[in-house]
Chain A
Amino acid sequence: MDLKVPKFEKPKLPKITVTRKQALTAAGTAVFVVLIALVGGMLLLDYTGDRQVATFGSHVAASEADLSLVSGKVSSLMRSSSDDLSVAECDAYMREFAAVADYGMRVTAYHRQIVGADRVPEAYAGAQSAYIRALDNLNRAFSLWSSAAAAYDAEAYTAAKENLARADQAWKEYTAAIEDYDRELRIAEEGGWAPPA
Chain B
Amino acid sequence: MERKDFLPVLAGGLVILVVALVVKPALLGEPIGLVSSGSVPVHNPPVYVPPAPVPTATPFPDDGAAYTRNFRWTAIDGGVQTTQVRVPEALFLAHRAAPQIADPLAWGRYAIADADRPFLEDLARRIAPPAGNPEEDYFRLMNLVFFVQQIPYEPDNSTGSYIEGAIPRYAVRQGVEAGYSKSPVEMLVDGRGDCEDAAILMAGLLDALGYDTVLFRYPEHMALGIRMNEFNPYYARYTPKYFAYEGKHYYYIEGTNYTTIPTGNSTFVGKPFPIGDAGGTGIPGVTSGTPEIIPLRYIPTPNEYRIRPARLPAGGA
> How many Å lie between the Cα of A75 and that of B105 in the bound state?
26
> How many Å lie between the Cα of A168 and that of B304 in the bound state?
5
B23 sits at the interface (CB 8 A):
no
- A-chain residues with CB within 8 Å of residue B303 when the two chains form the complex: 164, 168
Q: B105 to A60, Cβ gap below 8 A? A: no
Q: A182 to B311, Cβ gap below 8 A? A: yes
Cβ contact of A60, chosen from B106, B109, B113, B310, cutoff 8 A = B310
Q: B307 to A155, Cβ gap below 8 A? A: no
Contact A189 to B45, CB < 8 A, known contacts A86-B114, A156-B103:
no
> How many Å lie between the Cα of A53 and that of B297 in the bound state?
50
A74 sits at the interface (CB 8 A):
yes
Q: B313 to A171, Cβ gap below 8 A? A: no
> How many Å lie between the Cα of A98 and that of B308 in the bound state?
21
Binary contact readout B295-317 vs A (1 if CB under 8 angstroms, 0 otherwise)? 00111111111111111111111
Query: How many pairs of A and B residues are in contact by the CB < 8 Å rule?
Result: 168
Cβ contact of A99, chosen from B39, B49, B310, cutoff 8 A = B49
Select from chain A the residue with minimum beta-carbon distance to B46.
A106
B10 sits at the interface (CB 8 A):
no
A91 sits at the interface (CB 8 A):
yes
Say what secondary structure dominates the interface of chain B. Answer: loop
- B-chain residues with CB within 8 Å of residue A58 when the two chains form the complex: 316-317
Binary contact readout B29-63 vs A (1 if CB under 8 angstroms, 0 otherwise)? 01000000111101101111111001011000000
> How many Å lie between the Cα of A54 and that of B299 in the bound state?
43
- A-chain residues with CB within 8 Å of residue B316 when the two chains form the complex: 53-54, 56-58, 60-61
- B-chain residues with CB within 8 Å of residue A156 when the two chains form the complex: 102-103, 106
Q: B317 to A61, Cβ gap below 8 A? A: yes
Q: B300 to A160, Cβ gap below 8 A? A: yes
Q: A82 to B301, Cβ gap below 8 A? A: yes
Taking the closest CB of chain A, its distance from the CB of B30, in whole angstroms, is 8
Q: B302 to A117, Cβ gap below 8 A? A: no
- A-chain residues with CB within 8 Å of residue B42 when the two chains form the complex: 114
Q: A87 to B310, Cβ gap below 8 A? A: no
Q: A99 to B51, Cβ gap below 8 A? A: yes
Q: B300 to A148, Cβ gap below 8 A? A: yes
Q: B299 to A90, Cβ gap below 8 A? A: yes
- B-chain residues with CB within 8 Å of residue A120 when the two chains form the complex: 38
> How many Å lie between the Cα of A119 and that of B303 in the bound state?
36
- B-chain residues with CB within 8 Å of residue A167 when the two chains form the complex: 302, 304
Cβ contact of B302, chosen from A53, A131, A168, cutoff 8 A = A168
> How many Å lie between the Cα of A147 and that of B304 in the bound state?
16
Q: A57 to B310, Cβ gap below 8 A? A: no
Taking the closest CB of chain B, its distance from the CB of A53, in whole angstroms, is 5
Interface residues of B (CB under 8 A from A): 30, 37-40, 42-43, 45-51, 54, 56-57, 101-103, 105-106, 109, 112-114, 117, 297-317
The contact sample of 11 A-B pairs, CB cut-off 8 A, is A54-B316, A58-B316, A67-B307, A84-B297, A96-B51, A100-B48, A103-B48, A110-B43, A127-B313, A157-B298, A161-B300
Please list the 4 inter-chain residue pairs (A to B) with the smallest Cβ-Cβ separation, ordered nearest first: A57-B316, A171-B304, A106-B46, A119-B38
14 other A-B residue contacts (CB within 8 Å) besides A67-B307, A107-B45, A111-B45: A53-B313, A54-B317, A68-B307, A75-B305, A84-B297, A94-B299, A96-B51, A98-B51, A113-B40, A119-B37, A155-B102, A157-B105, A158-B103, A164-B302
